[in-house]
Amino acid sequence: MVGLATVFGAGGGTSSYREIEDTDVIVLWGSNARVAHPIFFHHILTGIRNGAKLFVVDPRRTSSARWADRWLGLQVGTDIALAHAIGREIIAAGLHNRAFVEGSTTGFDEYRAAVEQWTLERAEAVTGVPADAIRELAHAFATADRAQMCWTLGITEHHNGVDNVLSLINLNLLCGHVGRYGAGINPLRGQNNVQGGGDMGAIPNKLPGFQDLLDDDARQKFEISWGCTIAPRHGWHLTEMFEAMDRKEMRALYVIGENPAQSEADSTHAIQILEGLEHMVVQDIFLTKTAKLADVVLPATAAWCESEGTVTNSERRVQRCRKAIDAPAGTRDDTDILIELARRLGHEWHYPDVESIWNELRSLSPMHAGMSYARLVDLGGIQWPCPSNDTLEPPFLHGRLWAQDPRDRGRLAPLSAVAWEGPVDLLSNDFPIRLTTGRRLDSYNTGVQSSAIASPMRDGETLDINPDDAMRLGIEEGERVRITSRRGSIEAPARFDLDLRPGLAFMTFHFPDEVDVNVLTIEANDPKSGTAEFKASAIRIEKLNGAVGAVGAVGAVDVAVDVAVPVAGD
Ligand SMILES: Nc1nc2c(c(=O)[nH]1)N[C@H]1C(S)=C(S)[C@@H](COP(=O)(O)OP(=O)(O)OC[C@H]3O[C@@H](n4cnc5c(=O)[nH]c(N)nc54)[C@H](O)[C@@H]3O)O[C@H]1N2
Ligand SMILES: Nc1nc2c(c(=O)[nH]1)N[C@H]1C(S)=C(S)[C@@H](COP(=O)(O)OP(=O)(O)OC[C@H]3O[C@@H](n4cnc5c(=O)[nH]c(N)nc54)[C@H](O)[C@@H]3O)O[C@H]1N2
Ligand SMILES: [Mo]
Instruction: Indicate the domain borders of the chain.
Output: 2-187, 194-312+316-382, 433-543
Note the ligand closest to the C-alpha atom of 187: 1
Query: Cβ(420)–Cβ(123) under 8 Å?
Result: no
Pocket of ligand 2 contains residue 257 by CB under 6 Å: yes
pTM of the model: 0.94
What would the 3-class secondary structure string for 425-467 be?
A: CCCCCCCCEEEEEECCCCCCCCCCCCCCCCCCCCCCCCEEECH
Q: What residues contact 245, with CB distance under 8 A and at least 6 apart?
A: 251, 253, 273, 274, 276, 277
Homologous superfamily assigned to 2-187: Dimethylsulfoxide Reductase, domain 2 (3.40.228.10)
The span from the CA of 216 to the CA of 417, in Å, is 32
**For each of the chain's 570 residues, which pLDDT tens digit applies?**
789 988 987 768 899 999 999 999 999 999 999 999 999 999 999 999 999 999 999 999 999 999 999 999 999 999 999 999 999 999 999 999 999 999 999 999 999 999 999 999 999 999 999 999 999 999 999 999 999 999 999 999 999 999 999 999 999 999 999 999 999 999 999 998 999 999 999 989 999 999 999 999 999 999 999 999 999 999 999 999 999 999 999 999 999 999 999 999 999 999 999 999 999 999 999 999 999 999 999 999 998 899 999 999 989 999 999 999 999 999 999 999 999 999 999 999 999 999 999 999 999 999 999 999 999 999 999 999 999 999 999 999 999 999 999 999 999 999 999 999 999 999 999 999 999 999 999 999 999 999 877 776 777 899 999 999 999 999 999 999 999 999 999 999 999 999 999 999 999 999 999 999 999 999 999 998 889 999 999 999 999 976 554 444 333 333 333 333 333 333
Note the ligand closest to the C-alpha atom of 304: 2
Atom of ligand 2 nearest to the CA of 288: 44
Query: Cβ(261)–Cβ(290) under 8 Å?
Result: yes
Pocket of ligand 1 contains residue 161 by CB under 6 Å: no
Angular region, 44: left φ>0, alpha ψ -120 to 50, beta rest: alpha
Instruction: Provide the pLDDT for residue 5.
Output: 85
Rg (CA), the chain: 24
Pocket of ligand 2 contains residue 532 by CB under 6 Å: no
Pocket of ligand 1 contains residue 209 by CB under 6 Å: no
Check for a shared fold between 194-312+316-382 and 433-543: no
Instruction: Provide the pLDDT for residue 546.
Output: 64
Quote the ligand 1 centre to 13 CA distance (angstroms).
17
Helix (H) or strand (E) holding 484: strand 480-485
User: What amino acid is encoded at 401 in this protein?
Assistant: L
Pocket of ligand 1 contains residue 57 by CB under 6 Å: yes
Q: Which residue's CA is the nearest one to ligand 2's atom 30?
A: 257
Q: What residues contact 300, with CB distance under 8 A and at least 6 apart?
A: 256, 257, 283, 284, 285, 331, 332, 333, 334, 337
Query: Cβ(354)–Cβ(309) under 8 Å?
Result: yes
Q: Candidates 439, 509, 511, 522: which one to mutate for ligand 1, based on the most atoms within 8 Å of Cβ?
A: 439
Instruction: Provide the pLDDT for residue 2.
Output: 84
Query: Cβ(88)–Cβ(111) under 8 Å?
Result: no
The span from the CA of 150 to the CA of 185, in Å, is 6
The span from the CA of 336 to the CA of 282, in Å, is 15
Pocket of ligand 2 contains residue 431 by CB under 6 Å: no
Pocket of ligand 1 contains residue 190 by CB under 6 Å: yes
Atom of ligand 1 nearest to the CA of 62: 44
Pocket of ligand 1 contains residue 30 by CB under 6 Å: yes
Q: Which residue's CA is the nearest one to ligand 2's atom 31?
A: 257
Q: Which residue's CA is the nearest one to ligand 1's atom 13?
A: 190
Query: Cβ(187)–Cβ(165) under 8 Å?
Result: yes
Quote the ligand 3 centre to 326 CA distance (angstroms).
28
433-543: CATH topology is Barwin-like endoglucanases (2.40.40)
Q: Which residue's CA is the nearest one to ligand 1's atom 6?
A: 444
Pocket of ligand 2 contains residue 303 by CB under 6 Å: yes
Give the phi and the psi of residue 233 in degrees, each rounded to 5: -150, 150
Query: Cβ(489)–Cβ(519) under 8 Å?
Result: yes
Pocket of ligand 1 contains residue 439 by CB under 6 Å: yes
Instruction: Provide the pLDDT for residue 566.
Output: 36
Q: Which residue's CA is the nearest one to ligand 1's atom 40?
A: 154
Can you state the angle between helices 79-92 and 108-115, rounded to 10 degrees?
A: 110
194-312+316-382: CATH topology is Rossmann fold (3.40.50)
The β-bridge partners of 533 are none
Instruction: Provide the pLDDT for residue 460.
Output: 87
Pocket of ligand 2 contains residue 435 by CB under 6 Å: no
Instruction: Provide the pLDDT for residue 353.
Output: 94
Atom of ligand 2 nearest to the CA of 302: 35
Taking the chain, what is the end-to-end CA distance rounded to the nearest angstrom? 32
Counting every residue, how long is the chain? 570
Q: Which residues, chain by chain, have CB under 5 Å from ion ligand 3? A: 190
Instruction: Provide the pLDDT for residue 12.
Output: 80
Pocket of ligand 2 contains residue 266 by CB under 6 Å: no
